[in-house]
Amino acid sequence: MIPSVRFRNWAYGLSMLPASLVIVGNCSGSVWVWMNVVFSLGILALLESWLGDNANDDHSEFRDTLPKVLLWSHVALTAAMVVSLGYLILYNSPSWVELTGAILSTGLACGSGAVVVAHELIHKADRASKWAGRGLLLIVGNPYFSAHHILVHHVHVGTPEDCVTARKGETLYEYIPRSIIGQYRQARKAEISLQEKKTGRASWRRSHLIQNVIISLVILSLLVLLKPVFALAWLGVSFLAATLLEYVNYIEHYGLERHHSDRVGPLHSWNSNRSISRFLLFDLSRHADHHMHASKPYHCLESGLSSPQLPGGYVQLLYLAIRPTKWFKTVDPLLPNE
């Protein structure tokens, strides 16, 4: 294996640092619960601007072992994060400052780790991976993403039928509630249509979306019985993880349009080759290749230099997206037809 390929595979291990910091912080309590907030929003943002791009496309075989091991490690890490949060709440009686830090740190790690890994797993062909991805999303309180992403987003990306595609001139604050509500509606509609085609009638019992909502409510009820503050913290983590997911959705397709008759191509997704985004997020930033070849594993995605390029990495651009005027001024001129 050539050195650049070996580096690429091991570099994805960066994705495990936020979850590891959360577990250590939650188990230690005190100011340590804030470690991942400082790391994810501060240190990573600085590193992303300093390290620049890595557009190398050398990769190993589709079935290489290490990339799979790293993905499945996140299943255990995510469960451990939630358990460590429970440990902090049930046995340490944290102050509200500590609890806030723990929620923010855990939510950030779930949004940058668990959700991204779940996205990769639900695209796999084997049932075990699909169920693991769905389970990861339920652990972090997200019942809607798996159903919508496969049935709607990948089919209608860039068209008005996809609520996840952000419109030109739409702020992040307008987009997030529209996207989340739209994903529930569109996912349910797509499930009903699919069931009617297969069996002639729709049943809520076979709806993954409804099943996921019920399971989420059961989890919440159990946490309330265990300790109401734990349930509140889990809701906070879920909210933050969902917000980060929608932020990523926002920047991945902002302002890019596709006609129904056009095939999905390199111009329908924003790309970024920033090193931190690439290896922290399992090459999610090579988004155009993912949409063109949805079954391609993350470690084989290519740079897509013909795609529109974001003016920074995913961590950096968070600070731009929360300032709509600055976002429009920076990104709108980069749109393909501008």
d(CA 176, CA 55): 30
pTM value?
0.94
d(CA 219, CA 231): 9
d(CA 241, CA 272): 21
Q: Is the pLDDT reported for residue 204 higher than 80?
A: no
Percent of the chain exceeding pLDDT 70 equals 99
| Total residue count of the chain as it appears in this document | 338
- Contact at 8 Å (CB) between 61 and 1? no
Neighbour-count burial for 130-142, b at 16+ CB within 10 Å, e otherwise: bebbbbbbbbbbb
Q: What would the two tokens of residue 292 be? A: 């063109």
Please state the domain extents for the chain. Answer: 3-334
Q: What is the DSSP letter of 111?
A: I
pLDDT digits (tens, 9 = 90+) for 11-58: 999 999 999 999 999 999 999 999 999 999 999 999 999 998 998 888
Q: What is the pLDDT of residue 230?
A: 97
Q: What is the mean pLDDT of residues 79-85?
A: 97
Q: What is the pLDDT of residue 3?
A: 59
Q: What is the pLDDT of residue 2?
A: 55
